[in-house]
Amino acid sequence: MSARTAAPASLSRMSQPSVLVVDDDAPVRRMLERTLAAEGYDVRAAADGGAALAAVEQSVPDAVVLDVSMPGMDGLAVARRLRGKGLATPILLLTARDAIDDRVAGLDAGADDYLVKPFAAEELSARLRALLRRGRAVPELLAFADVTLDVATSRGERAGRDLELTPREAELLALLLRDPRAVVSREQALEEVWGGEWEAQPNVVDRYVAYLRKKLGDPPLIRTIRGVGFVLDA
């Protein structure tokens, strides 16, 4: 039985999701290519940041698996460039650094998830499946006051002005928009937006609320309920 025939049912029902693997370490890159191809993905590879940007220009993948530590343009710079171009494709960062500051830097650069080396192939596959499920969100338009958000594309507007949201910012805004004037606790945001992976760093929610406030502009829409969480209030 071939690797593609043995692909999980969740992927066999889809038209081979495409993944761009970016890593300067050739053995690691080949291992990632083999692992993901065996899972049923259509895999392309790039050996550095410049090649990754060129590959995305040629054909936008369904997901990007991106090593952080590369010579020249590192993974964080690549993620920032892709987000700066408006690319909403899920980005999974790979890195040997596990400090909280490193994780926050990855999220701030626009990554959707973060996997620390060494990792199990099963965990890589599971995280990719989760990211791709988010990317296939059903069309949904949320609105409150003069703010609108297209959940499927992560495109938000306020009074006709493009908010230029990152995927995480869009998910947090969607959480607030789904039940306006209901308080969203930090714990709820961590669970629903970050998948419960950031309990050790709860101020990541405050950081992203600050990003949203800056992008939404005046008059302020997100109010802090001290000791509880955040709420939309026009």
d(CA 160, CA 138): 23
Rounded to 5 degrees, what are φ and ψ at 72?
75, -120
Per-residue pLDDT, averaged over 21-35, amounts to 93
DSSP-assigned states of every residue in 60-129: --SEEEEES--SSS-HHHHHHHHHHTT----EEEEES---HHHHHHHHHTT-SEEEESS--HHHHHHHHH
Rounded to 5 degrees, what are φ and ψ at 93?
-85, 140
Per-residue pLDDT, averaged over 109-130, amounts to 86
Residue 24 is given by DSSP the state: S
End-to-end, the C-alpha distance of the chain in Å comes to 59
Domains 9-135 and 141-232 share a fold: no
Give the CATH number of domain 9-135: 3.40.50.2300
Where in the chain are the domains? Answer: 9-135, 141-232
What is the value of pTM for the model shown? 0.56
Tell me, what's the pLDDT at 156?
92
Specify the fold of 141-232. Arc Repressor Mutant, subunit A (1.10.10)
Tell me, what's the pLDDT at 15?
56
Least confident range from 52-56, 111-115, 218-222: namely 111-115
**Tens digit of each residue's pLDDT (9 = 90 or more) over 126-171:** 888 888 876 554 456 899 999 999 887 788 999 999 999 988 898 8
